[in-house]
Amino acid sequence: MVNESLQAKLATYSKPVDMLRNAPLKLFSLAYAPQHSNWRDEQAAWMSSAVLFDQSNHMNDAYFKGPDVVRLMSDTGINSFKNFGRNKSKQFMVCGYDGNLIGTSVLFGLEDDEISLVGPSACANWVQYQAEIGGYDVEVTWDRRTADSDARRRLFRYEIEGPLAKSILEKATDGALPEVRFFGMTEFELGGAQVRALKHTMAGAPGDDNMGLEIWGPSEDGPRVLDALLSAGEEFGLVRGGALAYYSSGIESGYLSQPVPGIYTDERMRAYREWLPADGYEAKISIAGSFASEDIEDYFRTPWDMDYGHIMKFDHDFIGREALEATKDEPRKRKVWLRWNDEDATRVITSSLFSPRGTGAKFLDMPLGRYARVQFDQVRAQDELVGISAMCGYTVNVGGFFSLGMLDADAAVDGKKVSVVWGEENGGTAKLGVERHVQTEIRATVHTSAPIR
């Protein structure tokens, strides 16, 4: 399918949802060590001491440089760009003309005329396309994730999280760690190298007692910066975290993961689908779960649905603004945590492992239970569909399985009893990570904050 487009690939399916739910794709491969010790101790560390993750390999970095950079970002993103410049950052989001999310990234203001978008490629793809068709004076370069490129990464990127992270960093910098606000950027020296950093939290709850700092710099400086962090962290119980702990951390912090890009049906997006390749992110993103619709638009989500209303600012014109403003007062889903019943989770695990093939429940993996890029499981109350369960897994800090959900407002209440339908209909789809199984239900309790034990 070389040189073919996403639009050409879609034409080989009767409907877009078949491509995303049934393509025989492999499970997502981990770009770095799954565990350094064991994922249980690594999870516990971000609540009790500190954990250090290596983020140098698994994300794409797209660089946009030129005099029109800020105008391009403002025209495409739902975020405000008033007073934007060097060392400013944003959780950046882009929508289609109908207001449905295409993708999200972390935006780093590197210079007044240069930014980078870090994350899955859907967001940066759309921005690059708009730069090309809109005649913006911007140069775009990519540093692809390790899985998609043989080239050496341009940057190292480390994330340190936990209540003792600040003490470790102060020791590693001889007390010269600058003060920085949440989601602010800063610069300092570490291990004899000049580094930049973003303050945020990918594990646990935000706050000074559970600080997160994402640190990066030229890849050749990565080893000495790593050595400085590990050396400073010895007396504080710093734990290196692997991919299994890293990918499960976002459920505690409330990260709903990426949306299904809202690009597959709108005729206004046809030229974009013709621009996208047939083997890119948008063509290979997979959908799993017990929620099964024949209409791909039932999987689309707006910023309102994913609890990103606080990020959206109507102080500028951007793609999708008219549609989003028109729906701002409509009822919408609310993000919650769903604490799964321990007995039901145990029953599912036992059934999946010890029942005759094809007669047990869908395998429930640990620590991350999702089996596709985007998980959509039904959440029901009194046999009524009240929402969707998304990212799911197990952490020792919760002490059981739980998931993030998007529920109707009247169901998004602390203590509400619901059930998650686990497994796919008709024995499962064609995804390679899906064995033949039987759907079942798992009781769950609604929480409006993470159910840390």
CB neighbour list of residue 56: distance below 8 Å, 6 or more residues apart: 32, 146, 153, 155, 156, 157, 158, 219, 222
Longest pairwise C-alpha distance within the chain: 63
Contact 217, 157 (CB under 8 A): no
CB neighbour list of residue 141: distance below 8 Å, 6 or more residues apart: 62, 63, 65
Residue-wise pLDDT tens digits, 66-83:
999 999 999 999 999 998
Integer Cα distance of 415 and 12 in angstroms: 46
CB-based burial of residue 136 (10 Å sphere; 0-12 exposed, 13-18 middle, 19+ buried)?
buried
- Alpha-helical (H) ranges within 83-211 are 122-133, 165-172
Structure tokens at 295: 């209409």
DSSP, collapsed to helix, strand or coil, labels residue 285 as coil
Considering the chain, what is the average pLDDT of its residues?
A: 93
* Residue with token string 């064991």: 38
Quick one: pLDDT band at residue 210, thresholds 50, 70, 90? low
Residue-wise pLDDT tens digits, 253-301:
998 889 999 999 999 999 999 999 999 999 999 999 999 999 999 999 9
- Element at 110 (helix H, strand E): strand 101-111
Integer Cα distance of 233 and 187 in angstroms: 20
Residue range 308-317: average pLDDT?
93
Residue range 296-308: average pLDDT?
93
Contact 153, 64 (CB under 8 A): no
The per-residue pLDDT for 1 is 44
- E strands within 303-408? 334-340, 374-375, 377-381, 384-395, 400-407
Give Cα separations from 116 to 108, 110, 111, 166, 193 (angstroms): 5, 7, 10, 26, 21
Domain boundaries, given as residue ranges, for the chain: 39-58+151-253
Per DSSP, what are the bridge partners of residue 241?
53
Quick one: pLDDT band at residue 104, thresholds 50, 70, 90? very high
Residue-wise pLDDT tens digits, 147-169:
888 888 999 999 999 999 999 99
Per DSSP, what are the bridge partners of residue 404?
337
The per-residue pLDDT for 23 is 80
Q: With 90 as the cut, is the pLDDT of residue 26 above it?
A: no
Lowest mean pLDDT among 232-241, 291-300, 304-313: 304-313
Residue-wise pLDDT tens digits, 367-421:
999 899 999 999 999 999 999 999 999 999 999 999 999 999 999 999 999 999 9
Closest CA to 338 of 285, 400, 292, 396: 400
The per-residue pLDDT for 176 is 83
Residue range 105-125: average pLDDT?
96
* Residue with token string 């904050």: 449
The per-residue pLDDT for 382 is 93
Residue range 421-433: average pLDDT?
94
CATH topology for the 39-58+151-253 domain: Gyrase A; domain 2 (3.30.1360)
DSSP, collapsed to helix, strand or coil, labels residue 327 as coil
The pTM score is 0.94
Edge-to-edge order in the sheet of strand 60-65:
89-95, 101-111, 114-119, 60-65, 139-143
Residue range 325-333: average pLDDT?
90
Integer Cα distance of 378 and 224 in angstroms: 47
Integer Cα distance of 36 and 31 in angstroms: 14
The fraction of the chain above a pLDDT of 90, given in percent, is 84
Contact 340, 364 (CB under 8 A): no
Eight-state DSSP code of residue 449: S
Q: With 70 as the cut, is the pLDDT of residue 205 above it?
A: no
